[in-house]
Amino acid sequence: MKKITFTIVCLLSFNITSYAQWTQQVSGTIVPLMSVYFSALNTGYAVGGDGVVLKTTNGGTNWTPQTGETTKWLNSIYFPVQDTGYSVGDSGTILKTTNGGINWIQQTSGTTKQLNSVYFPTQDTGYAVGDSGMIVKTTDGGTNWIKQTSGTIVCLNSVFFIDTNIGYVVGGELAGGIILKTTNGGTEWIWIIGGAPVQLNSVFFTNANTGYTVGDNGTILKTTNEGYNWTIQTENIYLPLSSVYFTNESIGYAVGGAMETKVYGLRTNEIIKTTNGGVDWISETVGYETLTSVFFTNSDIGYAVGVSGTIIKTTNGGVVWVAEESREETMKIYPNPANTTITIETSQLINESTLSVFNITGEEVIKQQICRLTDKTEINVGGLPSGIYFIKVFNSDGVKVAKFIKE
């Protein structure tokens, strides 16, 4: 499994400026999903544990298992062109498809080390990085993979290239993070001074000069001079961050989370967004599933995946995100559409809970504490304007979110 550190944390101070909500996709699996990538607006793929490969052709409405030809854990997926893609994982596994995921062919990577990330700056030239400082490169579309000299033996978690020559790799161990850079297509890798004291898990550049890397303990670093110097972007994020993605030079997202904080009644995932190039990051809550990867097809439509087969989606750039648990008991709302009173049914109502209603812009319009011995309650929505609303019920056991229409 990709080395993402899950830690128990205590949030002493955290400013939640809004309730972010994602639409839960029905993945059809409960194994952890480690990476998501869309080769077109509606065509996307997700990979994860036990060699699972999922594909959607309708923007996530349906996800279909593909024949991945492996039971190895898959950590990363990338498509340099629409129908040709690669996935990497445990034991040096590299898979390739040339027909949009219908068939996947095992590649000879030349290593048995776990591979954590794959990236292709061109259709034929690509890189994969992994454990023990492993970097392999192909220039013929995966027919041959050649080991490169990284200069380190630590775990490498993420690779990103600006063009065919300039690329970056981040990683590290518990003792600290590492940032590597090449300016000659991987022939040489230089160790960037000024990394983080924690493991780094993901790297993304918005242009030749500006890039971001995220890691454990909520670490976010930014460079504006081609990766030679990195500065810390935030001090109020504490959960591990696994993936970062920018839709333009100003707007970006990072996801992550820790698994054990639930016992303390704290959230265990993280979705944060910046609209000013990392100067400020807004933290959003989406329930209790750790997220591992985030990808946007345009400025509005984005996806994130995580443990327990989680796939979530936004269609408005994070203004409103809805989380609905498809693999567990869901929340029922009736009548729906409604005029005056609605009944809400979910086990989340048993014992002390908080119920909130949000409008389409994310504004909280109703909030009330509930302490019941049954799984049903009624609320009056007669005073609300017509439109789409989202109900969120949460307590120390988790979160349930569903939507209804007010006529």
Residue 365 sits in a domain whose CATH number is: 2.60.40.3080
Q: Which whole number is the average pLDDT over 157-162? A: 98
* pLDDT > 90? residue 155: yes
Identify whether 212 is part of a domain. yes
The verdict on 176 and 301 lying in the same domain is yes
Domain count, the chain: 2
* 284 and 180 fall within a common domain: yes
Q: Which of 269, 288, 314 is the last residue of a domain?
A: 314
In a domain, 2, yes or no: no
> Whose CA is closest to 200, among 190, 188, 210, 192?
192
Is residue 7 situated within a structural domain?
no
Does residue 358 lie within any of the structural domains? yes
Residues 143 and 282 grouped into a single domain: yes
The answer to whether position 320 is within a domain reads no
pLDDT digits 0-9 by tens, 67-89: 767 889 999 999 999 999 999 99
232 with 368, same domain: the answer is no
Q: What's the pLDDT score for residue 214?
A: 95
Lowest mean pLDDT segment, chosen from 93-107, 145-159, 239-253, 321-335: 321-335
Last residue of a domain, one of 314, 345, 370: 314
Q: Are residues 108 and 218 in the same domain?
A: yes
pTM of the model: 0.75
- pLDDT for residue 373 is more than 70: no
What pLDDT score does 245 carry?
Answer: 98
Q: Residue 370: is its pLDDT beyond 60?
A: yes
Residue 3 confidence (pLDDT) above 50: no
Distance CA 6, CA 260 (A): 7
CA 321, CA 317: separation in Å to the nearest integer?
A: 9
> Do residues 209 and 79 share a domain?
yes
Shared-domain flag, residues 27 and 153: yes
Q: List, for residues 290-306, the tens digit of each pLDDT value.
A: 899 999 999 999 999 98
| CATH code where residue 306 lies | 2.130.10.10
- Residue span of the structural domain in which 290 resides: 23-314
Would you say residue 324 lies in a domain? no
Go through 352-364 and write b for each residue having 16 or more CB atoms within 10 A of its CB, e for each that does not.
ebebbbbbeebee
- Is the distance from CB of 356 to CB of 349 less than 8 angstroms? no
How far apart CA 404 and CA 391 sit, in angstroms, is: 8
Contact 275, 259 (CB under 8 A): no
Rounded CA separation 283/144 (Å)? 43
Look over the chain and give the mean of its residue pLDDT values, rounded to a whole number.
84
DSSP string, 256-302: EE-SGGGGGT---EEEEEESSTTS--EEE---S--EEEEEESSSS-E
> Is the pLDDT higher at 242 or at 18?
242
- CA 138 distance to own-chain centroid: 27
Same domain as 220, residue 152: yes
pLDDT at residue 399, rounded to an integer? 62
Residues 399 and 307 in one domain: no
Confirm whether 182 is domain-assigned. Answer: yes
Question: How far is it, in rounded angstroms, from Cα 37 to Cα 342?
Answer: 38
Same domain membership, residue 179 and residue 234: yes
Beta bridge partners of 274: 252
Task: Tell me, yes or no, whether 232 and 273 share the same domain.
Answer: yes
Q: What is the pLDDT of residue 285?
A: 56
- Flag whether 101 is in a domain: yes
Q: What is the pLDDT of residues 21-52, one digit of tens each?
A: 566 666 777 788 999 999 999 999 999 998 99
Is 86 in the same domain as 213? yes
Strand order across the 190-191 sheet = 156-161, 167-173, 176-182, 190-191
Among the candidates 314, 343, 378, a domain finishes at: 314
